[in-house]
Every structure is written in C-alpha cells, then in structure tokens.
Structure 1
Amino acid sequence: MPQNFRLNFNGAPAARELRAAAARGLFLGAEHVLGVSNDRVPLDEGFLQNTGIASVDEGDLTAMVSYDGPYAVVQHERLDFRHAPGREAKYLENSLNSERQQVQALIAAQIRRALR
C-alpha cells in the first residue's frame, strides 16, 4: 500500500549558513595567500609588506588580497627589478597561483563543517 509523506523544508537558514561558511573559507584562503605573499614581497624596510590586507565581500562571495604601498604595483609588475633572495616581482600573482589548491581546500573545509 502506498504511503504518503509530507516534508516541510525551510532552506533559507541552511542557505545562509552555507553562504557564511563560504565567506569564512574565502577569508581564510585570502589570509593564507597574504601570508605566502608576505614571504615573497620585495623587502627593503618592510613598509610594503606591512600594507598587505585580506578582505572578503560576503555579498558577492569574493575575496581580495592587496598591498597599499605607493609603489606596490610597480614592484609587482616590473620584472627587471632586482630583489633579495626569495623576494620577487609578481609576489601576489605567484602566491595565488601556487596556493590555489590550498585555498580551495580551506573553502571546502568550511562548507563541509557547516553541513554537519
């Protein structure tokens, strides 16, 4: 004999929690990229390194890592500048590219945690 079931699912709280988890994961990923980038950023007196910041726009679910020094773009883009060992141009771009899988894992871990 067939049985009938009624299920009322209120998905809005679950969607909010998953979105918040994704934002937490994005922030952790951005912080990770910032840390790796700080190890590569050209270093003279440490000013540029100290201007690095990670942020997340929770509405758009986008993360940003930036440096605010007046010469941050020049140091990032000029491949002909000489840097101390371990320091490099493209310090932010290279850090993001090398850490892509780690960032994905950080985001996924936060989403998995929210699904428990």
Structure 2
Amino acid sequence: MKDYTPILGPIEKAAQDGLRNGMKEMLAVARKLAPVDDRVLVRSGAVRIDDLTGQVSFSARHARFQHENLDYEHAGGGQAKFLEAAADQVRVEDYIAAEIARALGG
C-alpha cells in the first residue's frame, strides 16, 4: 500500500503557514515567560504542525512541574503557566487570517 502525502491547495497552504507563524510566536513568548534557572526548559520548546493542527510543547522532564506548580519561586525569572499565558497573549487566528488574505491577493 502506498503512503500518500496530502496536497494542500493554496488557501490551505496559506492557513498552514499562518498557523506555523502563530505557533512560532507563541513558542517565543512562552520561552520568554518560562523559568530560566538552567535554560534546559527553555531550549526544550518546540512547534509541531500536522496539516491544519498546531502544537507548542516543552519536552524537558521538569516542564510540567514548572508549568503547573503555582507555589514554585523562580529566582532566575519566569513564571508558572508560561505556556498558558503565551496562548492567551498570541492570537494565532490573526496570523492565519493574514496569510490567507495574502494568498487571496489582499
């Protein structure tokens, strides 16, 4: 059985590009907000795009604990809920809309 790679139309491609740009911005904001004690957490951030679905994640072993524990003190800077705060700040839909408008000549 052959493995078929989906072919995106120009509007879908534009939406995917906008999604990628928005997710990259969300990652950049999350990295600025993340605790910076050893930089391992910050460097573990990544963006994954699959068709028209995007994901920002941090793979460091302690990422979940740093994100969820509101009682941790971050002497080196940063905060808990760094990814959630980034998701609230970055309007990914604006990036998608801009790329679609560009594809339509607007």
Matched position secondary structure for 1:20: helix
Per chain length, whose mean CA-contact separation is higher, i.e. which structure has more relative contact order (CA < 8 Å, sep 6+)? 2
1:94 paired to 2:95: no
Letter aligned with residue 33 of structure 1: M
Q: Does 1:53 align with 2:46?
A: yes
- In 1, the alpha carbon distance for the partners of 2:28 and 2:42 equals 10
How far residue 104 of structure 1 moved from its aligned partner, in angstroms, is 1.9
Q: Residue by residue, what CA displacement relative to the aligned partner does 1:64-85 show, whole Å, maximum 9, x if unpaired?
A: 0000000111110000101137
Contact 2:37–2:76, Cα closer than 8 Å, also in 1: no
SS in 1 for 2:79: coil
TM-score (structure 2 length as normaliser): 0.87
Residue 25 of structure 1 contacts residue 107 of structure 1 at CA under 8 Å; is this kept in 2?
yes
Partner residue, 1:108: 97
Larger radius of gyration between Structure 1 and Structure 2: 1
Q: Which residue of 1 aligns with 2:9?
A: 16
* Partner Cα distance (2:58, 2:89) in 1: 18
Unmatched segments (≥5 aa) in structure 1: 1-12
Q: Percent identity?
A: 38
* 2:54 is the counterpart of 1:63: yes
| Root mean square deviation of aligned Cα | 1.6
Once residues 57 and 20 of structure 1 are traced to their aligned partners in structure 2, the CA distance between those partners, rounded to angstroms, is: 12
Give the TM-score of the pair, scaled to structure 1.
Answer: 0.80
Aligned to 2:64, the other structure's residue is in SS state: helix
Gapped runs of 5+ residues in structure 2? 1-6
The offset of 1:98, in angstroms, is 1.6
